Amino acid sequence: MTTAPPRRAFALACWLLLLCIPAALAQSPGGAAAPFRTTDVSDSQAFLVRATRHTPARVDAAAIERLLRRMTLKEKIGQMTQLEIGMISDGVDANIHVNPEKLHKAVGEYGVGSILNVKDEALTLEQWHGYIRAIQAEAAKSRLKIPVLYGIDSIHGANYVKGSTLFPQPLGMAATWNPELALKSAEVTAAETRAAGIPWNFSPVLDIGRQPLWPRLWETYGEDPHLAKVMGVAMVRGYQGNDLASPDRVAACLKHYVGYSGPYSGHDRTPALLPEKTLREYYLPTFRAAIEAGAASVMINSGEVNGVPGHADHNLLTTVLRKELGFDGVAVSDWEDIKKLVTHHRVAADEKEATRIAVMAGIDMSMVPSDYSFADLLLQLVQERKVPMSRIDEAVRRILVMKARLGLFKDPALGIGGAIGSPASRALSLQAARESITLLKNERNVLPLARQARVLVTGPTADSLIALNNGWTYTWQGDRPQLYPGRPTILAAIKQKLGDANVAHVPADFQKGADLAAVTAAAQSADVIVLCLGESSYTETPGNIDDLSLPESQQRLASAAAATGKPVVLVLVEGRPRLIRSFADAMAGILLAYNPSNEGGTAVADVLFGDVDPSGRLPITYPRYPNALLTYDRKLAEDTDTSFGQKAFNAQFEFGAGLSYTSFAYSNLAVTPTSLPATGTVTVKATVRNSGQRAGAEVVQLYLRDRVASVTPSVRRLKRFAKVWLSPGESREVAFTLARDDFSFIGADNRPVVEPGEFDVFVGPLTSMVTITRAPASNQKEKKP
């Protein structure tokens, strides 16, 4: 473990004491030395470089080739087939049990390479062990004894293993702007997934979150490529470590390559129209970065981009993914998506044609998942020479390499025996929840609330662990209350702080709202109303909406609460930014909690009562109007065209926003040199001081604005950030290094370009400028102005 310089170590110690975080947090699961401490002050780019660096363990390539040569065509195609758990079992939920005939057909006869998922509930560790052992025992009886690769969606912790540690959902994790924390959460998730005997995690979602209606926005790391890249690479490193064959690591799967998150209707799995320039500027960078960090697999976009379904897109799946991004891992389809080329997308007349298109486009493994059609049809296609053996060998080689890297040939049940749900992991989850909560409004310092306050708590998210967690929690939709462990909701956590006598509660329903007369009556004897609004759980198509506004019943409840004349603190628990324009001005305080998971009730109460200083910052733009859904990096015309009485774009809350209970002052912004030659770097320094009375954390954000460019420049682009913890009166100089690439954008020819000219530099409220000088003619990446 690295040691901190004394002063920083002291500040660190104070902060840890303040948060009451057990020292156990400094240890990674299993007690191994932690590569990064969660409280390091870290420049985002320095983190990215460190976390990208890895030395993949070597696999015995010759042994893989020998195995490949021994395989029959049927065995090879079996490896490319992935089935869901129901194909080898009977029953549902906790009553699921292996069906030996089904298992034999799948693994013994068809030799399937992979099995996935639950049906439909999370299982206990012991149930998983029974499953994995039975599957691998069947594989061991097969001719070549190739182990099966089990895959699962551990989206925010090992959410399909009962008793595991759950973390804030990814959007909340992004709001911490603390990649070290993300990395440590991924380490715990990896260890607890592998403890079940499962070596493959369908995470992280690296789709960029720029369409707020999309029902999977909360599975993303927000709208900005730099922030999402840093967080995504943190997750990959946390899942995979340096050696996938460790018993506490899993293979990451980058989802959903690429463009899935940009449907123009906002509905899941519907068409996106993304010019190549946009795709390259905003949608590809996260995947590129995570591939450089060594991600073992990708899952493909179920939707379509520019009229081409993700699973049929040879250009994106082979030319870009393989040749340009250099990805050499496994590309797995999403759920039933080869069939959907026929049923949904209509680019193939029948499933056989769809299978040919998808395999030739570059799919290595098909998540079929509920029959044997893929294996049967692909066998025919190869026999008819419509799919060459070389394509089959390429796919199977990648799958075998992944199994070898995961250590499955040596021990197909590797990881079984690991522990889950330790107090230290739970404390880490609490810390992440606390750091994610974003204070967006605090009129006349209504927050933090006094310990003696009499509080009325109401709203549908006040007493709901389901809302705190959202989808992918014990079930796909996260919707079964009986599966949740006994953890405090927001209401319970407030009661823990104040005692039952000082807390009144008026229950509310997501659809029906609350008894407004009861709210008005209860408010009479309260000093403050904590109004918890937002969404229940959802993901994918069940989460589609046509209106981003909060449901009317919740808006009515907000107005009724405001009409009591008592100060109202709004707590939003939601996976996407539901509009609050109609009542936001009447709220004294606004906290955005995202989906902070099982420790989220405690974290919200800690922030409400000032036990924790809020340090989350928005990873998305919070819109004000339903038809003005822009991102922070919009074009200047959106902000400046105010002719004819038009209003400029006006977000409810801007990307990067977030208040603290203390205040921060910025000074001494210095850019050196002020002109960047062809090679070399620019250093941007600024001093940030805690000018208030309490300890707190500031997220120092550095943005650039290209003043003139051949493609209309954005208002600003995030280039660096660092989260800085400061005690009252303490100041620190933060230094960032920018290289020439940081000034590049995707030009009209869809290639990155750096153009000479002036750039504004923004750090906090301070601005400066830097000039990019002309590069020598030999620099191919540069374009003449």
Report the distance separating Cα 480 and Cα 473, nearest Å: 9
Residue tagged 């380490």 (tokens): 187
Report the distance separating Cα 782 and Cα 785, nearest Å: 9
Nearer to ligand BGC, 45 or 117 (CB): 117
User: Three-class SS string for 95-155?
Assistant: HCEECHHHHHHHHHHCCCCEEECCCCCCECHHHHHHHHHHHHHHHHHCCCCCCCEEEECCC
Contact between 540 and ligand BGC by CB under 6 A: the answer reads yes
What's the min distance (Å) between Cβ of 378 and ligand BGC? 21
Contact between 127 and ligand BGC by CB under 6 A: the answer reads no
**Site map 134..153 versus ligand BGC, x via CB under 6 A:** -------------------x
Report the distance separating Cα 544 and Cα 596, nearest Å: 21
What's the min distance (Å) between Cβ of 334 and ligand BGC? 5
Nearer to ligand BGC, 208 or 299 (CB): 299
**Site map 244..283 versus ligand BGC, x via CB under 6 A:** -----------x----------------------------
Residue tagged 């409280």 (tokens): 39
| Structure-token pair, residue 750 | 């869809």
Nearest partner of 110 among 376, 369, 363, judged by Cα: 376
The answer to whether 662 touches 696, Cβ cutoff 8 Å, is yes
Nearer to ligand BGC, 393 or 540 (CB): 540
So which residues are the catalytic ones?
A: 334
Residues 628-647 interacting with ligand BGC (rule: CB under 6 A)? none
What's the min distance (Å) between Cβ of 146 and ligand BGC? 22
What's the min distance (Å) between Cβ of 157 and ligand BGC? 15
Q: What DSSP line would sit under 214-240, residue for residue?
A: STTGGGS--S-HHHHHHHHHHHHHHHH
Choose, by CB under 6 A, the member of 15, 239, 257, 335 that binds ligand BGC.
Answer: 335
| Structure-token pair, residue 189 | 């998730």
Report the distance separating Cα 183 and Cα 236, nearest Å: 8
Nearer to ligand BGC, 153 or 192 (CB): 153
Q: What DSSP line would sit under 360-388, residue for residue?
A: HHT--BEE--SSSHHHHHHHHHHHTTSS-
Nearer to ligand BGC, 476 or 703 (CB): 476
Nearer to ligand BGC, 84 or 435 (CB): 84
What's the min distance (Å) between Cβ of 220 and ligand BGC? 12
Choose, by CB under 6 A, the member of 223, 334, 535, 574 that binds ligand BGC.
Answer: 334
Contact between 117 and ligand BGC by CB under 6 A: the answer reads yes
What's the min distance (Å) between Cβ of 62 and ligand BGC? 33
Nearer to ligand BGC, 515 or 540 (CB): 540
What's the min distance (Å) between Cβ of 472 and ligand BGC? 9
Nearest partner of 559 among 505, 507, 514, judged by Cα: 514
Report the distance separating Cα 575 and Cα 600, nearest Å: 14
**Site map 194..233 versus ligand BGC, x via CB under 6 A:** --------x-------------------------------
Nearest partner of 158 among 203, 113, 120, judged by Cα: 203
Q: How many residues bind ligand BGC (CB under 6 A)?
A: 9
**Site map 579..598 versus ligand BGC, x via CB under 6 A:** --------------------
Burial class (CB in 10 A: 0-12, 13-18, 19+), 372: middle
Residues 48-67 interacting with ligand BGC (rule: CB under 6 A)? none
Interface residues toward ligand BGC, by CB under 6 A? 117, 153, 202, 255, 299, 302, 334-335, 540
